[in-house]
Amino acid sequence: QVQLVESGGGSVQAGGSLRLSCAASGYISSHYCMGWFRQAPGKKREGVALIYLSGNIEFYDNSVKGRFAISRDNAKNTMYLQMNVLKPEDTAMYYCAAQGDYCRGGSWREEFFSYWGQGTQVTVAS
């Protein structure tokens, strides 16, 4: 069983930065797809960034490309989301997710993932 715990959320001014962490417990092999999703009030949960652990292959939604960076520290069993040049529209609850499969087009849908964290709130003031 995989358990995920997010941390690092908070409130920042537009243009600021935050780094989210997702600590994983349980066995996660290199053949896992992991991702960050976010959900703003009244909106559907959407994929932000994905990483396929075999080869650290990264994927980004166009809305965050060039501003956010996903990474993974295997020694610490932790995934990160470095968020720079934050905008008010980035305000949301951010969730990490994991699935024992390679990342694919369907990985942008929340139904692809079996394991989820509890979320961490990010608020960006204008």
Query: HEC states along 61-86?
Result: CCCCCCCEEEEEECCCCEEEEEECCC
pLDDT attached to residue 29: 85
Residue 29 CB partners (closer than 8 Å, separation 6+): 53, 100
pLDDT attached to residue 119: 98
pLDDT attached to residue 108: 92
Query: Cα–Cα distance between 105 and 102 in angstroms, integer?
Result: 10
Instruction: Identify which has the larger pLDDT, 27 or 59.
Output: 59
What are the pLDDT digits (tens) for 14-40?
999 999 999 999 888 888 999 999 999
Query: Cα–Cα distance between 25 and 40 in angstroms, integer?
Result: 27
Please give the share of the chain, as a percent, with pLDDT higher than 70: 100
Nearest to 20 by CA among 106, 122, 113, 90: 122
